[in-house]
Each structure stands twice: as structure tokens, then as C-alpha cells.
Chains A and B, each alone.
Chain A
Amino acid sequence: MKKRILIIEDEKALRETLEDYLREDGFDVKIAMDGEIGMNLIKEEEFDLIVLDIILPKKDGFKILEEVKEDEKRKNIPVIILTNLESVEDIQKAFERGVTNYLVKSDHSLIEVSEKIKKILKI
């Protein structure tokens, strides 16, 4: 069974490159270009992991993270935040809300992101 990953990211080029890369690495990848679409997908479908940007149209990443963690059925889905925000406040806020990992986009290559995901999913 392929592991299902949801990417919520509004920047087209970043979303597409990550999507293609993970698909090539053997994941079943779904994408959402804003927070609302992302949240709906989370409710309607099942995912093994969520990759989440913070600044998103319609609903921001922190709000989505909160909703996932408050949902009894979904609170165990690992969430990785992938953003270019890197203030200590944001990082703290994310970990307080139960994020599994916090990655800064410009500090990570695709292979590194993919490896972090595999590590979390124990692949």
C-alpha cells in the first residue's frame, strides 16, 4: 500500500515540484492550494501524513493544525510544517500545537524533505 500524503501549499512551483518528487519516491500524493480545500480534504479522505505551509489563503496553517489535533479521529496524523517563516515564536507555536516536524523551505532540499517524511512514516 502506498502511503498517502496531503500537501497544502499555495505557491504553485513549490507545490508541483514537491508533489512530483514525492510521487517519484513512491508516495500517493494529493494537493490543496489553500487552507479551506486542504481542511475539506482532510475531513473527507484519509492521509498518512500532512505537509502544511503556514501562510495560506482562506485558512492559515496554524488553524488547520489546531483543527486536526482537536479532531479525535485525526489527531494522530503526523503533520510537517514546511514554511519560510523561521522566528522562534512560530516554531514554538507549531510545537505547542503538536506538529511532528518544522522545516524551513530554503534550508531543505527535496531529498531532505522526502527523507524526513520517510523517517516519520518509518519507511
Chain B
Amino acid sequence: MKFINDLNLRKQAENLGVKIWQTPGFLFIILGLVAAIIMAATYFISKNYDSPQVLVISESIVATVILAVGSSIINLFEQVARINKMKSEFVSVASHQLRTPISAIKWSAELLLEKYNKGLSKKQISDVKNIFDLVCKMNRLVSDLLDVTRIDQNRMIFRKKKFDFKKIVKETINESSILAEKRNIEVNASFKKEMSLGFGDPDKIKLVVENLLSNAIKYTPSGGKVDIRLFEKDHFFVFEIKDTGVGIPEEQLKRVFEKFFRSDNAARYQTEGTGLGLYIAKNIIEQSGGKIWFNSIEDIGSVFSFSLPCHNGKMAEIMKA
């Protein structure tokens, strides 16, 4: 079975969700073998029987077999593509259906906490707060799933406008200060006083900054530090976030931006998390004309960085077109 592993048929089968003998790779091998055997047979037949009919018949058998195996490969591809599309549509429809009840729960809890909290005991208020926090998390998860289906179906739409990138970074740091305090993480940021405007979709860029910052805080042990730097280089912003967190094991570095990927140590350290944040971040940054990259050493920490066009640079001109 060694050659099966070498050709990664098992992995292919897992990825496509089919049996090994149904993978395109395996069918191609069979196709090749069948063709070779039949060619050999044809050769012997034509040598032993000196008749053109036999040659024609055996050659048409070869053609038929090749066609049959080839068409089953095509069928299989179609089937896999169809299932993939259905899966994506299912996630999209299900998430949409979830949005209304989730909004209703969220608003009910908010109403209770903010307007009708008189007469509620401390315990009751803390329970409603739990409901509120958890339903907000559900809401976030559904938004992430919808974003992923949009990315997969190429339907994510980007606004194109000038925006104050520094302000977005500052806002995000402020909004996550409660989480950082709770986990006893020190968050530092350094900016230049005067900075250019960014160009792209501010809401989506904010989502990326939020994802990177919440990862840095979540995966850094108590007492750790997160340092954020924002600077400009050749008409690009560079956003850099460095943590003293759990890092990513070396053998898993390549998979960091994969959909649903979570490193073993991250999953052990934090049970929450879907493995969608960095996948979404990478897609947003690349669609915005930037790049995203990282360095990480297990147990020491990670540095995630991305670049983003300034509104006055060449890249912004290309994006405007």
C-alpha cells in the first residue's frame, strides 16, 4: 500500500469524501494500467493472428475502455463539485435562517439587562449576561460562516473607499480592552502621529484587525504581552502584531491559513475557536491588494503582519480601476 500513500490517494479520498478506488488519481492509474495491458494484448494478438479485423477490434476495445474510465472520472468530478456547491448553499441558507432568532434572543437579553433590570437579583443579572455573551458569540460564528460561504462562492463584496486605518486600529484595541484585562494581557501600540489614509473596505479591514488581536489575546498566557505596530512603507501600511503566546508547532505552520484549521496546541489551550478567522483574514487582505504573513515559534510567540495599500499609492490606483 506504500505507493497509495506516496501518491496521496488516501488524502485525496479524505479531501473529496469518497472511497480510495473512486479518487480521480486511482482511476487514472487504472486507466493507464488497462491501456497498457490492452496495448500489450493487442500487440500479441496482432503478432499471432495475421488479420486486420482482429487489430481493429482490439483497438476499439482499447478506445472503449479508455472512454468508459474517462467518463467515470468526469462523472465523479461533477458529483464532487455538485456536493460541494450543495454544502456551501446549505451553510448559507442555514446561517441566514439562524440570524433572525439569534437577533431576537440578543435583543431580548439586552432589553432585560438595560431597561428591565430593576428587581432582578445579582444572580439573575449575571445569568442574563451569560445568555447575552453567548448569543453574541453565536452571532459571530454565523457571520463567520456566512463570510466563508461568500468567499467560497466568490460573492464577497468589497467597498472601495478612503478610510482612517489608524483610527480603526485604535478603536479595535479599545473594544478589546475588557478581554485583555480579563485575561491579564498587556496590549501596547505604537503609531506615528501623521499617517496616510488607507484604501479599501473599512468594515472588512476592521474584522481582520479584530481577528488578529483577539487571537493574540486568547492564545497568550496570563501576564503576557501583545505589541502592535503600524507603519508605512512604499505606499503600503504594515500592520504588525506580536504576542508572547503559545505559538504554532513547526510542522503545522503551513496550514495556518487553511479553512477550519486549528493547531493542536491552540485547540488544547483554548477550546473555543472555529479556525475560520485567519482564513477569512487572508481572503480579505488579498482581495484588498495586500499580503498577510507570519512568524511563529511554539511556546515563544507569534508575529502576524499584513500590508494594505495607502490611498495615494499605485496599488490603490489599480484597485480603483
- For residue A91, which residue of chain B has the nearest CB? B157
A17–B100 CB distance below 8 A: no
A110–B157 CB distance below 8 A: no
At the interface, yes or no: A121 with Cβ under 8 Å from chain B?
no
A13–B104 CB distance below 8 A: yes
A20–B99 CB distance below 8 A: no
Docked Cα-Cα span, A106 to B100, in Å, equals 8
At the interface, yes or no: B265 with Cβ under 8 Å from chain A?
no
Docked Cα-Cα span, A84 to B139, in Å, equals 12
At the interface, yes or no: B134 with Cβ under 8 Å from chain A?
no
| Complex interface: stretch among B105-113, B188-196, B218-226 | B105-113
List CB contacts (< 8 Å) of B2-49 with chain A. none
A105–B111 CB distance below 8 A: no
A88–B110 CB distance below 8 A: no
| Given A11-B104, A14-B107, A110-B107, A88 contacting B114 (CB threshold 8 A) | no
> What's the nearest-Cβ distance from chain B to residue A56, in Å?
13
A106–B104 CB distance below 8 A: no
- For residue B203, which residue of chain A has the nearest CB? A107
A111–B110 CB distance below 8 A: yes
B110–A110 CB distance below 8 A: yes
B103–A110 CB distance below 8 A: no
> What's the nearest-Cβ distance from chain B to residue A60, in Å?
16
Select which of A88, A105, A110 is within 8 A of B100 by beta carbon.
A105
Q: Which residues of B contact A20 (CB under 8 A)?
A: 111, 115-116
* Interfacial residues, chain B to chain A (CB-CB below 8 A): 96, 99-104, 106-108, 110-111, 114-116, 139, 142-143, 157
List 17 additional A-B contacts (Cβ < 8 Å) besides A14-B103, A110-B110: A13-B108, A14-B100, A20-B115, A20-B116, A21-B107, A21-B115, A24-B115, A84-B100, A84-B103, A105-B99, A106-B139, A106-B143, A109-B106, A109-B107, A110-B107, A111-B110, A111-B114
22 contacts between A and B (CB under 8 A): A13-B108, A14-B103, A17-B108, A20-B111, A20-B116, A21-B110, A21-B114, A21-B115, A84-B99, A84-B100, A84-B103, A87-B157, A105-B99, A105-B103, A106-B102, A106-B142, A107-B143, A109-B107, A109-B110, A110-B110, A110-B114, A111-B110
